[in-house]
Amino acid sequence: MPWTVEYEPERALVIVASTGEMRDEDASAQTAEVVCFLKQNHSTTVLVDYSDAVSEVALPSLYWLPDYASILGAPWNIRVAVVLPRTRYRLESFQFLELVCKNAGYTVRLFEAKAAAEAWLAETLAPREPASQAVPA
């Protein structure tokens, strides 16, 4: 299956793009590359675009992906936005992945549209105003 993992420095974002059929070995290889880019660039946001992919990844393999990411040294404060496939085939496997990642302490969220996923990730990168502190009278 063709897939790519790259880093976009303008948005400090690791982007995974997949097309076609995704298998167990693809999920493991993508996870390893994502963690490498996260660590190398001190990034905390990941956009996974599976809109043109079909998942054939076995549920046991999905179950172990968060542990594998931890072993590789994935930061705990990452946010991962997953754009769901347009074909609804095995959609529950993505919901299962979201659940096991959350149970492992990773922030993962599923999206129907890429624009919504990018907007959610941009919230992380937006500069925040310092909280106003009450001054005692």
**What one-letter code names the amino acid at 97?**
L
pTM of the model: 0.88
pLDDT in tens, the chain (137 residues): 589 999 999 999 999 999 999 999 999 999 999 999 999 999 999 999 999 999 999 999 999 999 999 999 999 999 999 999 999 888 999 999 999 999 999 999 999 999 999 999 998 765 544 444 444 54
Round to whole Å and give the CA distance between 52 and 41.
Answer: 27
Neighbouring-strand partners of residue 131? none
Round to whole Å and give the CA distance between 111 and 90.
Answer: 15
Question: Which CATH homologous superfamily contains domain 3-125?
Answer: STAS domain (3.30.750.24)
Residue 65 tokens, joined:
């992906």
pLDDT at 126: 55
pLDDT at 88: 85
pLDDT at 132: 46
Domain boundaries, the chain: 3-125
pLDDT at 121: 96
Number of C-alpha atoms within 13 angstroms, CB side, residue 115?
Answer: 0
Question: Can you say whether the dihedral through the CA atoms of 16, 53, 68, 93 is positive or negative?
Answer: positive
pLDDT at 136: 52
With a CB cutoff of 8 Å and minimum separation 6, the contacts of 45 are 11, 12, 13, 14, 78, 79, 80, 81, 121, 124, 125
